[in-house]
């Protein structure tokens, strides 16, 4: 029962926090445009979040293995709440970039640490199910956010979207502070062996997981940073922009339960690679989308791709975390995402300025396909890998 309570409190709080963060997803690129951001400016705004998160995340992961998880999540949610006020006061691309960097520091203390708690609680052989169930809260929260944000921006403007983010982040902070146990019982028996990066890089499975997360993040960065602007070409409302950005994320959340259970029954590396291929192919097809219906179809394919890949990836990371430090592994796994979110917008933004927006999607799709192949090769057959106690 304590584990169930921890799971539900954490999932609900993360749903609320991700809902708040997702509210500004359709708002941010359009808001940055009003401040004079071009392709590189947009890339800097989005990359600042990931740069600060990448710098902080390895340290928070290791420290949470030694000192407990809750304090990091509470601190991160405090920063989320303060960042929402910073967005309201930003009057230039430079100021917006600094606030995004602060927001990224908060993010480094929330999702990876929460995932580490779920990894701690996951029974052996059920890692896919537990991570899939946890991902439901993340995907549905972040997916519902753009829907809400699109409506809020259309009716009341960008400032209202930032205020909604602040209110939801504060609600999540209250929930975690008062309802999440300080130290779930499973953590008292957590192994103190926390492997260094040089040791982890000798594990083929670790390298495969890192390349998957890095290339998948490049794909998702193009969706978040450039898809809202591409959609605006079709003369649609802000609410429709929010729906199209949210569609793939919401669908990914809906199917997490089923694909999480599937990840406990069949090859996880196959599910991971196939899911990433679906996302990459969808990006390659975006320049051929000439209607809202075309984008809806591609959003459905992207959502299925994430739904297939992420429970399997989370299960593989959890297995490694039992031997090398759960927070440690979750930190490096999410660091790879941050690096992808840094490199993706910068490279895609430069390509957009040089050759046009369509090529930003093509570039990201090709990277995703390459990453899918490398991940499949490096992860290897799950049965051939040692199972650690």
pLDDT digits (tens, 9 = 90+) for 286-327: 888 888 888 889 889 989 999 999 999 999 999 988 888 888
Count of alpha carbons within 13 Å of 289, Cβ hemisphere only? 26
User: In this structure, are residues 172 and 17 in contact, taking their beta carbons and an 8 Å threshold?
Assistant: yes
Classify residue 89 by burial, with Cβ atoms within 10 Å: 0-12, 13-18, 19+: exposed
Q: Is 115 inside any structural domain?
A: yes
Classify residue 106 by burial, with Cβ atoms within 10 Å: 0-12, 13-18, 19+: buried
Q: Is 186 inside any structural domain?
A: no
- Give the domain range for residue 144: 2-178+194-384
Count of alpha carbons within 13 Å of 111, Cβ hemisphere only? 27
207 SS3 class: helix
Q: What pLDDT does 382 receive?
A: 45
Closest Cα partner for 269 from 308, 302, 300, 303? 308
State the average pLDDT over residues 359-382.
Answer: 87
Using only C-alpha atoms, what is the Rg of the chain?
Answer: 19
Give the C-alpha separation, 17 to 268, whole Å: 29
Give the C-alpha separation, 337 to 263, whole Å: 21
Query: Looking at residue 112, which CATH number applies to its domain?
Result: 1.20.1250.20
Q: How confident is the model at residue 25 (pLDDT cuts 50, 70, 90)?
A: low
Q: Is 232 inside any structural domain?
A: yes
Does the pTM surpass 0.85? The reply is no
pLDDT at 383 over 50: no
pLDDT digits (tens, 9 = 90+) for 58-74: 888 888 888 788 889 99
Q: How confident is the model at residue 57 (pLDDT cuts 50, 70, 90)?
A: confident
Q: Distances in Å between the alpha carbon of 292 and those of 23, 30, 134, 209, 298?
A: 21, 19, 31, 34, 10
Give the C-alpha separation, 34 to 238, whole Å: 14
Q: 92: left (phi > 0), else alpha (psi -120 to 50), else beta?
A: beta
Percent of all residues in the chain with a pLDDT value above 70, rounded to a whole number: 91
Q: Give the list of residues 6+ apart from residue 291 with CB closer than 8 angstroms, or none.
A: 234
Q: What pLDDT does 208 receive?
A: 94
pLDDT digits (tens, 9 = 90+) for 179-232: 787 654 444 444 456 778 888 888 889 999 999 999 999 888 777 777 777 777
Range with lowest mean pLDDT among 47-61, 148-162, 288-302: 148-162
Q: Is 185 inside any structural domain?
A: no
Q: Is 183 inside any structural domain?
A: no
| pLDDT top residue among 271 and 103 | 271
Q: Give the list of residues 6+ apart from residue 222 with CB closer than 8 angstroms, or none.
A: 283, 344, 345, 348, 360, 361, 363, 364
Q: How many domains does the chain have?
A: 1
Q: Is 184 inside any structural domain?
A: no
Q: Is 389 inside any structural domain?
A: no
Q: What pLDDT does 272 receive?
A: 95
Neighbours of 188 (CB within 10 A): 7
Give the C-alpha separation, 228 to 101, whole Å: 21
Q: What pLDDT does 2 receive?
A: 53
State the average pLDDT over residues 228-256.
Answer: 78
The DSSP code for 86 is H
The DSSP code for 185 is G
Q: Is 276 inside any structural domain?
A: yes
Give me the chain's average pLDDT, please: 82
Give the C-alpha separation, 76 to 70, whole Å: 10
């Amino acid at each position: 029962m304590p584990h169930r309570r921890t799971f539900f409190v954490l999932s609900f709080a993360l749903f609320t926090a991700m809902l708040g963060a997702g509210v500004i997803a359709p708002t941010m690129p359009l808001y940055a445009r009003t401040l004079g951001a071009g392709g590189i400016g947009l890339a800097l705004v989005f990359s600042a979040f990931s740069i600060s998160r990448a710098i902080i995340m390895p340290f928070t992961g290791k420290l949470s293995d030694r000192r407990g998880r809750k304090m990091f999540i509470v601190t991160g949610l405090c920063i989320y709440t303060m960042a929402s006020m910073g967005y309201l006061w930003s009057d230039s691309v430079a100021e917006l970039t600094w606030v995004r960097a602060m927001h990224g520091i908060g993010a480094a203390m929330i999702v990876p640490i929460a995932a580490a708690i779920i990894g701690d609680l996951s029974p052996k052989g059920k890692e896919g199910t537990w991570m899939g169930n946890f991902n439901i809260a993340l995907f549905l929260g972040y997916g519902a956010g753009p829907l809400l944000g699109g409506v809020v921006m259309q009716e009341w403007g960008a400032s209202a979207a930032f205020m909604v983010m602040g209110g939801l982040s504060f609600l999540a902070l209250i929930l975690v502070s008062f309802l999440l146990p300080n130290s779930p019982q499973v953590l008292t028996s957590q192994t103190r062996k926390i492997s260094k990066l040089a040791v982890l890089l000798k594990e083929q499975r670790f390298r495969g997981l890192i390349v998957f997360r890095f290339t998948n993040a490049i794909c998702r960065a193009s969706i978040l940073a450039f898809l809202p602007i591409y959609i605006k070409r079709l003369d649609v409302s802000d609410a429709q922009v929010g729906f199209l950005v949210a569609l793939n994320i919401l669908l990914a959340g809906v199917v997490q339960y089923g694909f999480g259970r599937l990840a406990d029954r069949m090859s996880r590396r196959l599910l991971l690679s196939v899911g990433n291929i679906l996302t990459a192919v969808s990006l390659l097809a975006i320049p051929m989308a000439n209607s809202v219906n075309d984008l809806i179809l591609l959003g459905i394919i992207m959502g299925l791709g994430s739904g297939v890949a992420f429970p399997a990836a989370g299960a593989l990371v959890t297995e490694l975390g039992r031997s090398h430090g759960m927070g440690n592994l979750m930190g490096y796994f999410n660091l790879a995402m941050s690096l992808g979110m840094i490199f993706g917008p910068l490279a895609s933004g430069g390509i957009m300025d040089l050759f046009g927006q369509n090529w930003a999607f093509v570039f990201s799709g090709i990277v995703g396909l390459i990453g899918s192949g490398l991940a499949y090769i490096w992860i290897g057959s799950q049965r051939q890998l040692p199972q650690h106690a």
